[in-house]
């Protein structure tokens, strides 16, 4: 699939904690070209995950807009957002269980993620077995979620996020639980997806991922600092 461009306009996210307002994002403006890759960097609490969540349409901003492929996800209905995530945007959130079906095996999780891909794009999809093999998960493809380690579940989450050959992949700390060998599998998968035209936006503390993307963006206290 052709990559999707991302545009963020004056994005604000404010919520309350113990009666006090917390500004997760403060008027963020951002453009990401279709087919490019970007890493979001910054300390915990800087707004990285909040930005990713708003791009995925999992929350609504306090003000401002987030557009993916020209579509304003901030204004879309829940039904439209579900269709967008099923067909065009892969989302890999922190906590592998949030991305996976607990009653299905690894291969069926990937296959389920491909169910909504339009027929005219199905010939571009990689088989579940191939995706799992590239992430070092070929030996557990028939195993259910409960039999997988945390690191295996994390890699399976990425396979699910990329299963539909999305135009945009949003990934939050995809290597946080992994050793050096398996981090390399994940980086290779991200590089392959980017080379195939997928736009990549990844929240990370992993310097290896940051060194492989086209751009890095640092946030602090909800604002872009570099």
pLDDT in tens, 126-162: 999 999 999 999 999 999 999 999 999 999 999 999 9
173-187 residues labelled b (16+ CB within 10 A) or e (exposed): bbbbbbeeebbebbb
Residue 121 lies in a domain: yes
Residue 137 lies in a domain: yes
**Which of the residue ranges 69-78, 90-99, 154-163 would you say has the lowest mean pLDDT?**
90-99
Query: How confident is the model over 47-52, as a mean pLDDT?
Result: 95
Instruction: Give the chain's domain count.
Output: 1
Residue 1 lies in a domain: no
CA distance 179 to 106: 20
pLDDT in tens, 12-47: 999 888 888 889 999 999 999 999 999 999 998 899
The pTM (predicted TM-score) of the whole model is 0.94
SS3 sequence of the chain: CCCCCEEEEEEEEEEEECCEEEEEEEEEEEEECCCCEEEEECCCCCCHHHHHHHHCCCCCCCEEEEEECCEEHHHCCHHHHHHHHHHCEEEECCCHHHHCCCCCEHHHHHHHHCCCCCHHHHHHCCCHHHHHHHCCCHHHCCCEHHHCCHHHHHHHHHHHHHCCCCCEEEEECCCCCCCHHHHHHHHHHHHHHHHCCCEEEEECCCHHHHHHCCEEEEEECCEECC
Greater confidence (19 vs 62) lies with: 62
Q: What is the pLDDT of residue 1?
A: 59
Greater confidence (113 vs 96) lies with: 113
Q: What is the pLDDT of residue 83?
A: 93
Please give the residue range of the domain that contains residue 48. 6-224
pLDDT in tens, 153-211: 999 999 999 999 999 999 999 998 899 999 999 999 999 999 999 999 999 998 889 99
> Which candidate, 68, 84, 11, 82, places its Cα nearest to that of 34?
68
CATH number, domain containing residue 59: 3.40.50.300
Query: How confident is the model over 43-55, as a mean pLDDT?
Result: 94
């Amino acid at each position: 699939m052709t990559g999707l461009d991302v545009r963020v306009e004056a994005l604000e996210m404010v919520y309350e904690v113990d009666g006090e307002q917390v500004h997760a994002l403060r008027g963020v403006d951002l453009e990401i070209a279709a087919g490019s890759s970007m890493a979001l960097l910054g300390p915990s609490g800087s707004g990285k995950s909040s930005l990713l969540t708003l791009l995925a349409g999992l929350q609504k901003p306090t003000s401002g807009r987030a557009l993916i492929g020209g579509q304003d996800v901030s204004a879309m209905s829940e039904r439209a957002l579900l269709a967008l995530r099923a067909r065009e945007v892969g989302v890999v959130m922190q906590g592998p269980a949030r991305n996976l079906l607990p009653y299905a095996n690894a291969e069926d999780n990937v296959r389920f993620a491909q169910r909504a891909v339009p027929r005219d794009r199905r010939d571009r999809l990689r088989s579940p077995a191939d995706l799992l093999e590239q992430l070092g998960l070929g030996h557990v493809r028939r195993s259910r979620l409960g039999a997988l380690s945390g690191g295996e579940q994390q890699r399976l989450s990425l396979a699910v996020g990329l299963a539909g050959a999305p135009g945009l992949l949003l990934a939050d700390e995809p290597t946080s639980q992994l050793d050096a060998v398996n981090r390399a599998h994940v980086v290779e998968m991200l590089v392959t997806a980017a080379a195939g035209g997928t736009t990549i936006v990844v929240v990370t503390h992993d310097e290896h991922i940051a060194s492989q993307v086209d751009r890095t963006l640092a946030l602090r206290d909800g604002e872009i600092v570099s």
